[in-house]
Amino acid sequence: MTSTAFVGPPAASGTPFDGPDTVDWATATPDAPQPHAELGLADDEYERIRQILGRRPTQSELAMYSIMWSEHCSYKSSKVHLRQFGEKAPHSDRLLAGIGENAGVVRISEQLAVTFKVESHNHPSFVEPYQGAATGVGGIVRDILAMGARPIAVMDPLRFGAADHPDTARVLPGVVGGVGGYGNCLGLPNIGGELVFDPCYQGNPLLNALCVGVLPVDRLQNKAAAGPGNVVVLIGAKTGRDGIGGVSVLASATFDAGSEARRPSVQVGDPFTEKLLIEACLEIYDAGLVVGIQDLGGAGLTCALTETSAAAGTGMVIDLDRVPLREASMDPHEVLASESQERMLLIVEPAKLNAVLGICAKWGVLATAIGQVTPPENGTPGRLVVNWKGQTVVDVPPGSLADDGPVYARPMREPNDRWLLQADRAETLPRPADSELRDTLLRLIASPNLCDKSWVTEQYDRYVLGNTVLAQPEDAGVLRIDPQSGLGIALSVDGNGRYARLDPYQGAKLALAEAYRNVVATGATPVAVTNCLNFGSPEDPGVMWQFAEAVRGLADGCLELGIPVTGGNVSFYNQTGTVPINPTPIVGVLGVIDNVAERTPMGFANRGDAIVLLGTTREELSGSEWANVVHNHLGGHPPVVDLDAERRLGAVVTAAPLTSAHDLSEGGLAQALAESAMRKGLGARITLPQGQSAFVQLFSESAGRILVSVPAGAEDDLLALAAAHGVAATPLGTVGGDALVIDGLFDIPLDELRAAYAATLPDLFGRGEPEEPDYVPAPRPVVAEPAAAEPEVADVAAPEIHLGRPVDAHEGAAEDATDE
Amino acid sequence: MTAAIGVVTFPGSLDDGDACRAAYLAGARVLRLWHADPDLHGVDAVVLPGGFSYGDYLRCGAIARFSPVMESIIDAAKGGMPVLGICNGFQVLCEAHLLPGALTRNSHLHFRNRDQLLRVESTGTAWTSSFEPGQQILIPVKNGEGRYVADQATLDKLDAEGLVVARYVDGNPNGSQRSIAAIRNPAGNVVGIMPHPEHAVEALTGPSTDGLGFFSSVLRHLAAYERVTTS
């Protein structure tokens, strides 16, 4: 395949002028051969396009259909399954916008709402790690912006191949640098994420990015291009040749040896422009200047034009010559397909156009009127007409691209190795003797999936915007939303591909359960769910079965927990050759906390506090990190998931006055104890109860457990509360000392724990230059410095100031509740 | 009259809202200044906040230094107005030659965000009089280009004249020469600091509240100044 095939179809041969394929010419040359197969369109899909148009598509139209009907944009393989999220959704009064919008919007108070979503940028991040990851962040941030929200934080669930594989050393630093480079430069705190290594991701690393934003309820925007006569305005970066075919070439096909040649299909990010775009859009929203707005992401202008007009049932006439280009030689199909970043499409009433252009000029954001909304014709939706150099190159019903893409019920088959896999249980593996438990703990805590992630998270700004109450490595990120009342939110993203490989239905539920548990551990009440479903090729019946099972599990789980899915993203074709990744459903749970000052951190806080384990430990080692690290083993059944028990556990931890709470997940109790102790440098003395082997108690990964501490004397109240909710509660010991002591088994000084925990990632990915020793200046003669006077007591009332959004000149005048 | 602190917003400024919050919590009136507006609107002191002014694609602070508001701030600083440059603001002050030296790429080449211990070494500035000499404070550091460098003579002069305001303790997060985290001009009204005091002003969101000292210091300084000039 030549590189031009990625860029778009060649012009039909013999056009009568030196220019692109037009509607007139397409009508005149119905039989001109077209390269639909090379663009990823099946023969029957191409036939359907011809039926819709009543002629062959032009070169531009063919490019548009090929990207809008790609797996990435049309969800053609996943749609029939994703419907369950709507059908099984529990009722929620909080939901202001749900599936199908750019992002779900959840009301958190009378005045305020939160919008959040997680998306993948997996394929670009493998091809070009830095830019792939950077634009992954940029894309999800614009989704949040398009809802009318100010983006306030990001999170990054990441998956890489084996930690010691040479290619991981290429991909990981680039991805982390890209996530950090873009997010830091936008001024968005990174409040959490995941970092998991597994050989199954070697050729298919996963970069999922979550963004959360906040808006006043009445600032909610929509994407409908309503109002014939309104002006279509494109703002932001110029359009270039970058990212052409990103969704169809990269995201909708399996990788092969030629993947490196696809670097031109990766977009290049400019976070500075995006920052200006955010400020300009928010000012435009606050002034009430837009009718509709849509971000330009995958499929670029094509997607934005068709989705906005289809949503309103209107049409549009677009003058493509007006689109500001980086390269003047671009053809119309390239302009329509470009995925150049940092662009938004606005629908503006003519009378307000000058005000919009003025705000954009203030922020130095390019803004161009490129067309007009046209009315429906005779009761049928309007048409999208695109003109180029005086010729019509596109004339299509927008709904046929945006909504009426092909839908497939792909064949599904349970993978035939599944029963073998499930029969090979980790519970039967050789276990360490009690005398070896100390070494086992140290080995596990230093393993790449359980070790200290500071090497990564130190590259992310977690402080900017000044509302980060908890961030990684805490169980969930907690943000203050309203400084007056203390109202805030908690967010966690979780997933475990090993569990999902063993049982995708349970695996999806386990991911949901863990994210839910992480949110309740901080004291917040879960209210909504987002998800990113990372799978192999949907054309593989085994993968399709995994996908269907995971969706069913997540939909059932959300129904059981009473929190709706508000949106999400599907990433297929994460496989190299015929080998797919472990199915990896990533689940994000959003919680609301009435007063962030009362959040519960994960670290042991006070000497003498009583440590209690909430929940039940079973002998569940299959899929565990112990089986992974010690035996390189994956088999058996994942831990049992009981969502009713999770809910009762949540009720206990949100009601009890805890001094610390830390969820148990990968690595089990041993990991949770070590992390809780190291967090603030306070050790613990633990006595494991009799009756169950110490090994199982320490390393089983049973779900539904949280390690908590309470002030001495308060444990009886906690036990009573737990009993009232039917939650098992096991007193384990007390906080104190500078070691983790397990009575009768071992003790490990915190310094030794920390050394094992912290060394792994720097050893793998570099420490940089050794830090210089502290510099101590030579003493110098004391110079008398003038004593500062006592402050004057001023009785002038402090004026209202408005934080977070700059205003035109001085004396903050922004009326922006969300920015406080 | 409560002193007014102006916080500049350049395109790409990110911690401007946080600087406003910190000044407000310290008791100041807060005014926002816009990069394209040379009018300082009567503020008594100025904070240049963190961020990536104009994208910092050329060299950090290199373009901001030429903005209309900076022309006025440079004049005012030479006349004694207190100016605090934080992170990107420090870079701007160096580019504007209000402070010597430069901030370059961290020695390990990564952006680094951590809670950093500093030792305050000069308390005779407009921004640090609330601290004790030698006091250790905990302030977040977060930068990609925060490595302070200068020629040998400049470094010696900074040491000899007591112009180093704060140094990194317990680890140097970016390879700064002589562990320099903050410096001042000889008059003491202009201070540049790489770590972020505005992110250590509330126990809930910061590692400490040590950062408030910078803002309470300048209010004290301004109150004393007002007393002198009006008596």
CB contact under 8 A, B14 and A186: yes
Tokens linked to A451: 């070790």
CB contact under 8 A, A789 and B224: yes
A contacts of B130 (beta carbons < 8 Å): 788
Res B197 pLDDT > 70: yes
Q: Which of B24, B34, B226 comes nearest A806 by C-beta? A: B34
Res B193 pLDDT > 80: yes
A contacts of B37 (beta carbons < 8 Å): 809
Confidence of residue A460 (pLDDT cuts 50, 70, 90): very high
- The pLDDT value recorded for residue A255 is 54
Res A803 pLDDT > 50: no
Mean pLDDT of B220-227: 86
Segment A756-787, tens digit of pLDDT: 999 999 999 988 766 667 888 877 655 545 44
Ligand-binding site membership of A142 (annotated): yes
Q: Parallel, antiparallel, or unpaired for β B147-149 and A343-348?
A: unpaired
Tokens linked to B91: 């870079």
Contact of B133 with chain A, judged by CB distance below 8 Å, is answered with no
Question: Percentage of residues in chain A with pLDDT exceeding 90?
Answer: 82
CB contact under 8 A, A187 and B15: yes
CA-nearest residue to A467 within chain B is B205
- DSSP 8-state symbol, A16: S
Alpha-carbon distance B97 to nearest alpha carbon in chain A (angstroms): 24
Tokens linked to A408: 């497939």
Taking the model in full, what pTM does it have? 0.92
- The pLDDT value recorded for residue A558 is 97
Cβ neighbours of residue B191 closer than 8 Å, sequence gap 6 or more: B83, B84, B85, B125, B126, B127, B128, B165, B182, B183, B184, B214
- The pLDDT value recorded for residue A16 is 46
Q: Exposed, middle or buried by CB within 10 Å (0-12, 13-18, 19+), for B133?
A: middle
Alpha-carbon distance A798 to nearest alpha carbon in chain B (angstroms): 6
Taking residue B205's Cβ as centre, other Cβ atoms within 10 Å add up to 21
Of A183-197, A254-268, A427-441, A570-584, least confident by mean pLDDT is A254-268
Question: Testing the interface with A: which of B47, B119, B205, B219 to mutate, by most A Cβ within 10 A?
Answer: B205
- Structural domain harbouring B108: 4-230
For helices A271-286 and A353-362, the axis angle rounded to 10 degrees is 140
Alpha-carbon distance B153 to nearest alpha carbon in chain A (angstroms): 15
Alpha-carbon distance B137 to nearest alpha carbon in chain A (angstroms): 15
Does the annotation count B94 as an active-site position?
Answer: no
Question: Testing the interface with A: which of B14, B57, B87, B113 to mutate, by most A Cβ within 10 A?
Answer: B113
Res A2 pLDDT > 80: no
Contact of B68 with chain A, judged by CB distance below 8 Å, is answered with no
- The pLDDT value recorded for residue B11 is 96
What total of structural domains would you count in chain B? 1
Q: Which residue has the tokens 């359980």?
A: A450
B contacts of A478 (beta carbons < 8 Å): none
- The pLDDT value recorded for residue A790 is 41
Say which residue, A801 or A210, is predicted with more confidence: A210
Task: Give me the total of CB pairs closer than 8 Å, taking one residue from chain A and one from chain B.
Answer: 196
CA-nearest residue to A180 within chain B is B111
CB contact under 8 A, A780 and B160: yes
Task: Kindly state the helix (H) or strand (E) to which residue A532 belongs, with its residue range.
Answer: strand A525-534
Cα–Cα distance between A236 and A368 in angstroms, integer?
A: 9
CB contact under 8 A, A276 and B15: no
CB contacts under 8 A, B 171-200 vs A, are 171-173, 175, 178-180, 196, 198-199
- The pLDDT value recorded for residue A427 is 97
- The pLDDT value recorded for residue A99 is 76
A116 near A476, Cβ under 8 Å?
no
Question: Testing the interface with B: which of A270, A810, A819 to mutate, by most B Cβ within 10 A?
Answer: A810
Mean pLDDT of A195-216: 97
Res A184 pLDDT > 80: yes
Alpha-carbon distance A160 to nearest alpha carbon in chain B (angstroms): 20
- The pLDDT value recorded for residue A249 is 55
CB contact under 8 A, B109 and A810: no
- The pLDDT value recorded for residue A8 is 38
Confidence of residue A259 (pLDDT cuts 50, 70, 90): low
- The pLDDT value recorded for residue A92 is 86
B contacts of A597 (beta carbons < 8 Å): 204
Ligand-binding site membership of A198 (annotated): no
Q: Which of B17, B108, B130 comes nearest A769 by C-beta? A: B108
Confidence of residue A134 (pLDDT cuts 50, 70, 90): very high
CB contact under 8 A, B107 and A186: no
CB contact under 8 A, B142 and A775: no
Cα–Cα distance between A585 and A157 in angstroms, integer?
A: 11
Contact of B110 with chain A, judged by CB distance below 8 Å, is answered with yes
Res B23 pLDDT > 80: yes
- The pLDDT value recorded for residue A257 is 52
Q: Which of A792, A805, A806 comes nearest B226 by C-beta? A: A792
Res A552 pLDDT > 50: yes
- The pLDDT value recorded for residue A22 is 94
B147 near B104, Cβ under 8 Å?
yes
- Which CATH number do you get for residue B180? 3.40.50.880
- The pLDDT value recorded for residue A815 is 36
Say which residue, B207 or A7, is predicted with more confidence: B207
Contact of B88 with chain A, judged by CB distance below 8 Å, is answered with no
Cβ neighbours of residue A83 closer than 8 Å, sequence gap 6 or more: none
DSSP chain B: ---EEEEEE-TTB-SHHHHHHHHHHTT-EEEEEETT----TT-SEEEE--B-GGGG-SSTTTTGGGSHHHHHHHHHHHTT--EEEETHHHHHHHHTTSSSSEEE--TTSS-EEEEEEEEE----STTTTTSPTT-EEEEEEEESS-EEE--HHHHHHHHHTT-EEEEEESS-SS--GGGEEEEE-TTSSEEEESS-GGGSS-TTTSS-STTHHHHHHHHHHHHHHHHHHH-
Judged by DSSP in three states, A394 sits in strand
- The pLDDT value recorded for residue A304 is 97
- The pLDDT value recorded for residue A590 is 98
Mean pLDDT of A257-284: 81
Tokens linked to A574: 């994460």
B contacts of A805 (beta carbons < 8 Å): 17
Ligand-binding site membership of A571 (annotated): yes
Res A260 pLDDT > 80: no
Segment A300-338, tens digit of pLDDT: 999 999 999 999 999 999 999 999 999 999 999 999 999
CB contact under 8 A, A777 and B27: no
Alpha-carbon distance B53 to nearest alpha carbon in chain A (angstroms): 9
Q: Which residues of A carry out catalysis?
A: 72, 121
- The pLDDT value recorded for residue A263 is 54
CB contacts under 8 A, B 138-167 vs A, are 140, 142, 144, 159-160, 162, 164, 167
Ligand-binding site membership of A546 (annotated): no
Confidence of residue B46 (pLDDT cuts 50, 70, 90): very high
CB contact under 8 A, A780 and B9: no
Confidence of residue A268 (pLDDT cuts 50, 70, 90): confident
Segment A282-299, tens digit of pLDDT: 999 999 999 999 999 888
What ipTM goes with this model?
0.96
Segment A402-455, tens digit of pLDDT: 999 999 999 999 998 999 999 999 999 999 999 999 999 999 999 999 999 999
CA-nearest residue to B118 within chain A is A774
Contact of B107 with chain A, judged by CB distance below 8 Å, is answered with yes
Confidence of residue A802 (pLDDT cuts 50, 70, 90): very low
